[in-house]
Amino acid sequence: MNTIHLHQLLPQVFAERTDIRSDIWNRDITLQRGKLYLVEAQSGTGKTSLCSYLYGQRSDYQGQITFDDTDIRTLTPSRWDHLRQHSLAILFQEMRLFPELTALENVQIKNRLTHFKTQEQIEEMFCRLHIHDKLNTPAAIMSLGQQQRVALIRAFCQPFHFLLADEPISHLDEDNAQLMAQLILSEARAQSAALILTSIGKHPNLPYDNHLRL
């Protein structure tokens, strides 16, 4: 997957609004593989909706989204399964870890599906993000900042062409945010992937190709 086109995309809830001034809604834009996009938004402007549309979770929008010229409304569930295993990675804003599983198991539940990373590589990422001591800690008793880092490692356990990161550092301090930014960049570069990172102000310092205001 090399491009994502957004054609006159608009959440249905905004359909009646006339005051929309956005770089994304109601425009035609193309997101290219390999580039870094920062989507800056005020809360309530549809940032999470955008991620949900792109990840196939929701389709309450007007306009059209295409992946390499394929309208994503036409994708079958099994096609989505394939995309979520091979092309699209996501870091959910709400993390979506399984509280009853340990940090490592939360990562393995993805990696055993894709067999993309080795155990060593996974542990190395835990090390880089300074949560190596939490490998066997249940997610339920981890702090939000720690959970955010586990969720990121999980997102990396697959090949991807686009990485959606919905407020990835909202729960992190400056130092950890920087470590995370480095890891995101190296993983994205390693796969020649695009990064679509949303933020409501606080965002990691990366060489973005494009700033989009939602």
Residue ranges binding another protein (CB under 8 A): 55, 57, 77-78, 81, 84-85, 90, 92, 96, 98, 100-102, 104-105, 108-110, 112-114, 119, 135-136, 154, 158
Q: Which residue, 108 or 170, is less far from another protein as judged by CB?
A: 108
Closest-CA residue to 22 (of 6, 43, 35, 41): 41
Considering the complex, state which of residue 15 and residue 127 has its C-beta at the smaller distance from another protein: 127
CA 4 to chain centre: 14
CA distance 25 to 7: 9
Structure tokens at 30: 């193309």
Is 75 or 135 the residue whose CB approaches another protein more closely?
A: 135
Q: How far is the CB of 62 from another protein (least distance, A)?
A: 23
Residue closer to another protein by CB (options 15, 140) is 140
Distance in Å, CB of 85 to another protein, minimum: 4
Tell me how far CA of residue 156 lies from CA of 26, 84, 150, 190, 191, in angstroms. Answer: 31, 12, 10, 11, 10
In order, the DSSP letters of 128-161 are HTT-GGGTTSBGGGS-HHHHHHHHHHHHTSS--S
Least distance from another protein to the Cβ atom of residue 32, Å: 23
CB of 193 to another protein, least distance (A): 16
